Structure 1
Amino acid sequence: MSAFADLSADQRADLAEQQLSLYEELKARGLKLDITRGKPSSSQLDLSNALLTTPISPKSADGTDVRNYGGLNGLIELRQIFAELLNTTPDLLLAGDNSSLSLMHDTIAFAMLHGLPGGEPWARQKVRFICPVPGYDRHFAICQDLGIEMIPVDLGDHGPDLDEVRELAADPSVKGMWAVPMYANPTGVTFDEATTRALLSMPAADDFRIMWDNAYALHHLTADEPVPLDVISLAAEEGHPDRVFTYASTSKVTFAGDGVAFMGGSRANLDWYLSHYGKRAIGPDKVNQLRHATWFKNADGVRALMRKHRALIEPKFALVLETLQRRLGKYGVATWTKPAGGYFVTLDVVPGTATRVVALAKEAGIALTPAGASHPLGHDPYDRTIRIAPTFPSLGELTEAMDGLATCVLVAALEQDPTHQAATHEAAPSQ
């Protein structure tokens, strides 16, 4: 069980020959495997097929005709279900259409155009966002698209580096921070209450907002099912009731393309949002919302469905962790997360080799999320982090992909050894 650094020159030579041979065999198999994005598998989507044929009344519980215009807040019966699940109250939760990313984009776009309550439009100011890393590439893409400067801050086991966040937030040009507080994308860490309260209480601009994306709050991988923090109430307790916007969706609960998204916040925040959203739309898809509420019945109906999801995806996560340990554990060339929930495993390889690993995998027919995607502008200064998304492929496909990925990690690590650079250069594809 020797670490890679402890191998003798002869042992490294033998290992290089072995891994290069495995890599050539991998390329010869003509694989077409994809572990790039955290998509539910067809088997997971099948769990909700009955949703498509669920009969519903034309009217909701409060008499709203769901076929007609109106209802910017979304249906109360669905908001009641998810308020319980997200640990908030229905009056502080909106139900929208299928994409929480759209709600996040609209929030920031409205702030750019109109400003938040009591503040000037962000578009007239220098605007910067704190971005915990590794983080979610689609969050960063919103900032990049709207011209917002991103400041990476290291994400630890309980949340971002508080000292650095406090120092940055003291600058009035820093207007917000991204957060995936439960089973974070891609590391799987969960913010604890102490860290959360510190973020909510720290001095910051009046129009500073934390974009609290609870995308994975219901996606447990163990029998332990912790409840999300009631961050809206905590913000009020800490003296900054408007500091946080919260988001969630059923994209990985029912159907990714035909689900329901949710947005929460203080009454002042929600009224501000609705004042602008009401100019863009006349109401969400209430037929789909009522279909979801009717089929779920209550919060326990959602919990029961999520346990079925867990039964399908937990073995895939177990396979990923077993393969990484078996293939890489004894060499000390990589570390990886062991998430208790969410959709990803984060793999950190030898610094300076993540881009190379992704290129090697692509040449062998294994598609990975681009190296650097977990950092603003796609730039990982250490070139070491790779996000693994195990949910979409079958177990058989995932077995092949993970075994191939492990081979690529070892080949890339060995290429850094001057003793074997010539041999690896001849056998492996160029970047």
Structure 2
Amino acid sequence: MPTLQDLDADALASFRAAKEEEFAALKARGLKLDLTRGKPSSAQLDLSDALLTLPTTTKDRSGADVRNYGGLEGLPELREIFAELLWVETDQVVCGGNSSLTLMHQVLTSLLLHGGPGSERPWKDEPALKFVCPVPGYDRHFSMLADLGIEMVTVDMFDDGPDVDAVAALVKDDPAVKGIWIVPTYANPSGAVVSAEVAAALMAMPTAAPDFRIMWDNAYAFHHLTEDEAKSADALSLAAASGHPDRPIMFASTSKITFAGAGVSVVAASAANKAWYLKHLAMASIGPDKINHLRHVEFFGSADGVRAHMRKHRDIIAPKFDAVDVALGTALDGLDVAEWTKPTGGYFVNLDVLDGTATRVVALAKDAGIALTPAGASFPHGHDPRDRNIRLAPTFPVLEEVETAMAGVATCVALAAAEKLSGA
């Protein structure tokens, strides 16, 4: 079959008419499907229901009562589990509440108010502030920066990480560039995995800002979709070896491992960064929810317990990702109007449609009862200059709904492309 761009006017008109009929039939079904956020499904949440019966004691292994104040760094037993999972030392780990996003916000606001190790002044007193943002990327990272008034400068995200040459050029001579967001393993939304070579280059590159920070968000480090499990680059060791131990600050959580609203979060960093973080955290907290920490320790038992638990998640969600690929491939292969990722982990499929049609695709899907993440959400301020990027989140609906929704999305992609190519 010729590509859509190769069709003559009559053939394109016929194709468009057929897709309009398909869309009318789709709309008539009265669907109400939601693929807007990368949330765990109820079946995934059910895997952790044993947490509701835990902990079985009120004491940690040292005999301290977890119901009381104290323990700002978090329960040592939990810190040990995440140190092994993240390939860091226990002494580098602090465990907090249910949201790693909260930890990221705490770090950024403390840098703004106080500066950090290596800072010449609080960031708020700098003449200008910029962050490098690989795109497509995680919308919540971008909205946090926008809320704090930090300018965002974009670079392309490749399969092995951000365009490291572009990053190096941005940071080399401009002291206003203070940091970069990185989702190193199964990046949101592309599924990219930062290679050891790219990670090493990021840790070693010269920066004009002496307090340049890499916000290393390991949000999906354990969320494998195949038996070939990617290992996150050892950011803290690479940074220390390059002479920049304070550059990366690592984050993770169990938000998509146990209960999304009642998990535990992790920050891992150099000794100087950890001491700085705890100093300011102590002004806001006397200690985390150690009962929940102990609950998770009892539930997992060890790092291997986390790994076994995530294999159960994989069994639930991997077929949904397969369904996305099958639906899009069946309807769109050969048309040359869309490309999509086939991730080996994480929570998203990255869909690039014909330039100038992503907004239209999302609008058509909404009209058909299929809610998608807004077009351009994976770019700062929600603005994709090519209007082609759509993030698909297939984890929350049941498998049959994913199949239905993605067949519908494929119809919308083809129709929007036909409209664009026919000039209307």
Relative to the length of structure 1, the TM-score reads: 0.96
Q: 1:259 to 1:23 in 2, by over 3 A?
A: same
Partner letter of residue 381 of structure 2?
Answer: L
Determine helix, strand or coil for the equivalent of 1:259: coil
1:340 aligns with 2:315: no
1:251 maps to 2:252: no
Q: 1:235 aligns with which of 230, 235, 239?
A: 239
Query: Quick one: distance in 2 between partners of 1:168 and 1:190?
Result: 22
Alignment of 1:9-408 (within 5 A): 9-119=9-119, 120-125=121-126, 126-170=128-172, 171-204=174-207, 205-408=209-412
Deviations 1:18-73 (A, max 9, x none): 10001111111111110010000000000010111124221111222110111110
Q: SS of the residue aligned with 2:257?
A: coil
* 1:276-310 Cα deviation digits (max 9, x unpaired): 01101111100000010011111111111100000
Counterparts in 2 of 1:379 and 1:396: CA distance versus 1, 3 Å:
same
1:167 Cα shift? 1.1
Indicate if the aligned counterparts of 1:85 and 1:227 stay in contact, CA closer than 8 A: no
The whole-number CA distance in structure 1 between the counterparts of 2:345 and 2:366 is: 28
Residue pair 1:56, 1:290 contacting (<8 A) in 2 also = no
User: More deviation in 60-69 or 95-104?
Assistant: 60-69
Question: CA deviation digits over 1:129-172, x for unaligned, max 9?
Answer: 00000000000011000000000111111111112101111211
1:414 aligns with 2:415: no
Q: Report the CA distance between 1:357 and its aligned residue.
A: 0.6
Distance (whole Å) between structure 2 residues aligned to residue 215 and residue 418 of structure 1: 42
3-state secondary structure, aligned to 1:227: coil
- SS at structure 1 position matched to 2:255: coil
Q: Matches of 1:226 and 1:410 in 2, distance apart?
A: 34
Report sequence identity in percent. 59
**Cα deviation, residue 417, structure 1:** 2.4
Once the two structures are TM-superposed, the CA of residue 261 in structure 1 deviates from its matched residue by 0.3
CA distance in structure 2 between the partners assigned to 1:44 and 1:294 by the alignment: 19
Instruction: Tell me how far 1:183 sits from its aligned partner.
Output: 0.3
The residue type equivalent to 1:8 in the other structure is D
User: Any unmatched runs of 5+ in structure 2?
Assistant: none
Q: Counterparts of 1:168 and 1:60 in 2: how far apart (Å)?
A: 47
Listed one character per residue, the Cα deviations across residues 61-109 of structure 1 (whole Å, up to 9, x for unaligned) are: 1222110111110011111111111111111011100000000001000
TM superposition shift of 1:4: 1.3
Q: Is the 8 A contact 1:188 1:341 kept in 2?
A: yes
What's the TM-score once normalised by structure 2's chain length?
0.98
Residue 200 of structure 1 aligns to a residue whose secondary structure is helix
Q: C-alpha separation between the residues in 1 aligned to 2:210 and 2:277?
A: 17
Q: Deviations over 1:302-348 (max 9, x none)?
A: 11110000000000000000111111112110000110100000000
Determine if contact 2:185/2:230 at 8 Å carries over to the other structure: no
Question: Cα distance, 1:224 vs. partner?
Answer: 1.2
Q: Distance in 2 between matches of 1:213 and 1:382?
A: 26
Quote the Cα distance in structure 1 between the aligned partners of 2:151 and 2:110: 17
Q: Would you say the 8 A contact 1:116–1:207 is kept in 2? A: yes
